[in-house]
Amino acid sequence: MERLLGAEYADFVASIDQSPLVGLRVNTLKIAPEDFNTMSPFALKQAGAYAPAGFLVADESRPGSHPYHAAGLYYLQEPSAMAVAQLVDPQPGEWVLDIAAAPGGKSTHLAALMQDTGLLVANDMDGKRASILAENMERWGARHALITNAHPEQLAAQFGPVFDRVLVDAPCSGEGMFRRLGSAKGAKGANVEWSQEQVLACARRQTAVLATAVQLVKPGGRLVYATCTFAPEENESSIARFLMTHPDFKLVEPPRFDGFDRGRPSWAADGLPQDGLEKCARLWPHRFPGEGHFIAVMQRAGTKKPDRSQRPVRFQPLKSSELKVWREFARATLRGDWPEERMLLKNGRLYLLPPDAIETGRLKLVRYGLLLGEIRPGYFKPAHALALALKPEEVVKAVNFPADAPEITAYLSGHPLPITDHRLPITDNWLPITADGFPLGWAKAGGGQLKNHYPRGLRMVKAEGRL
Ligand code: SAM
């Protein structure tokens, strides 16, 4: 970096020694950023015009432990990472693919920008990370997402060039994480120490992922490439190599917000074309309040409409006994429209698929649309995901407490709650528990108390300091 940055190097190194910034991005599917700012228990500072829902946490509080986090009101995200989905710029109704999506920083952001319309396919090839992605998307309340655990090549074989926008948030050497991790731990999700060989191995992997991702972009669609590393081998060189072999793609000039630096064409490896590389965006920790990112927005030539005709999901109608338990639950608990013609039952789990649901063939699915719950013999057990996706007008009755009430701590710790409201049904009714009106999960009234159905794996455990 010293050789590359020259006079700038001293500032760069000084920035690495500073404390990392804590960023928080408000879930606009649940609350407007200004409303959250007004009620926030943490001191917040607006991140900037580049991320209208983004804030920096300006005090020592731990927003990851607050009930609002459990309610999915925000995602903790490093501020420069907030620029990525913003530059993907997805439009409501579009089909968007996030090919390396776990744990979900960009996918939650994309879902919010799409206003949870169209179709967002969020994929990660690592199974464990794909489950964490699903958990984060669930807390977010996203309904129009398909979460898969597949290799990019399997996605390309199944879907073909149908997506309006494809994001490759590539596995990288993670140099922008050094400040946060306090060491050179290396690529996210690839617990490997940083080394020059590691940088080159990442560059080879990125070239391979891009070559596959391209097969999923529709004519006229956009491909966005991002890394959280500074290494030119994984940034300018990866893009130059891609453009050289894919002449139907051109770099697009993204909006330049405060602190957005340009790509450095001369940093591309010898022999690679440098044309247009200045259109990439570099976010440096010494020029921008964040840890650092590289982003390239590319557009595919062409106007031909993608062929999406062969891809609707084949729905199997539910049996009348299955419909009966769902309907009984829905009648007692939910308001609004829950279209049964879009429901899919798989291994006893009932999903509400988005209107644009596509056939997924043999892909490994982690979630499809909104998981409503499980159909058990004679009754329906609602899913945590359903509680987190509910809007106030979709609930017949909820049990609300202020976020700082002891009942909320007790609920998040897995304890039953006493029934203090005599208007509540006494037996067998599912009720969302809400904090300041925002659902946290389910409880079931019975035996004079509210039985706790907050998922065991999410419960606040004092010794570990979770939540
Ligand atoms: N987009 C995520 C977010 O914002 O939360 C971060 C993604 S992380 C930078 C890169 C991801 O790429 C990891 O989750 C990892 O499992 C995945 N990955 C690793 N090797 C890959 C490969 N060869 N092809 C595609 N994805 C890969």
Span 373-411, pLDDT tens digits: 999 999 999 999 999 999 999 999 999 999 999 999 999
On the question of pLDDT at 446 being above 90, the answer is no
Domain with CATH 3.10.450.720 in the chain: 320-352+369-458
Do 216 and 161 form a contact (C-beta atoms < 8 A)?
yes
Segment among 24-33, 43-52, 219-228, 445-454 with least mean pLDDT = 445-454
pLDDT score for 465: 45
Q: Is the CB of 176 under 6 A from ligand 1?
A: no
Domain 320-352+369-458 fold is: Nuclear Transport Factor 2; Chain: A, (3.10.450)
Taking residues 168-177, what's their average pLDDT? 92
pLDDT score for 19: 86
Phi-psi region of 61 (alpha: psi -120 to 50; beta: other; left: phi over 0): beta
- CA 260 / ligand 1 centre spacing (Å): 24
Segment among 12-21, 190-199, 218-227 with least mean pLDDT = 190-199
Q: Is the CB of 106 under 6 A from ligand 1?
A: yes
Any catalytic annotation for residue 172?
Answer: no
Q: Is the CB of 330 under 6 A from ligand 1?
A: no
pLDDT score for 252: 98
Pocket test for ligand 1, best of 147, 188, 206, 215 (most atoms within 8 A of CB): 188
Q: Which residue's C-alpha comes closest to atom 18 of ligand 1?
A: 171
Residues contacting residue 223 through CB under 8 Å, at least 6 positions apart: 165, 166, 168, 210, 213, 214, 217, 249, 298, 299, 300
- Cis peptide leading into 41, omega within 30 of 0? no
Pocket test for ligand 1, best of 75, 109, 169, 207 (most atoms within 8 A of CB): 169
Q: For residue 428, what pLDDT band results from cuts at 50, 70 and 90? A: low
CB atoms within 10 A of CB 402: 12
For residue 278, what are the β-bridge partners?
none
- Could you say which of 3.40.50.300, 3.40.190.80, 3.40.50.1220, 3.30.70.1170 is the CATH number of the domain covering 21-77? 3.30.70.1170
pLDDT score for 155: 98
On the question of pLDDT at 117 being above 70, the answer is yes
The verdict on pTM exceeding 0.85 is yes
Q: Which residue's C-alpha comes closest to atom 17 of ligand 1?
A: 100
- CA 319 / ligand 1 centre spacing (Å): 39
Domain with CATH 3.30.70.1170 in the chain: 21-77
∠ at Cα 81 (76, 120), nearest 5°? 85
Domain with CATH 3.40.50.150 in the chain: 81-300
Please tell me the total number of residues recorded for the chain in this structure: 467
- The highest-level CATH class for domain 81-300 is alpha beta
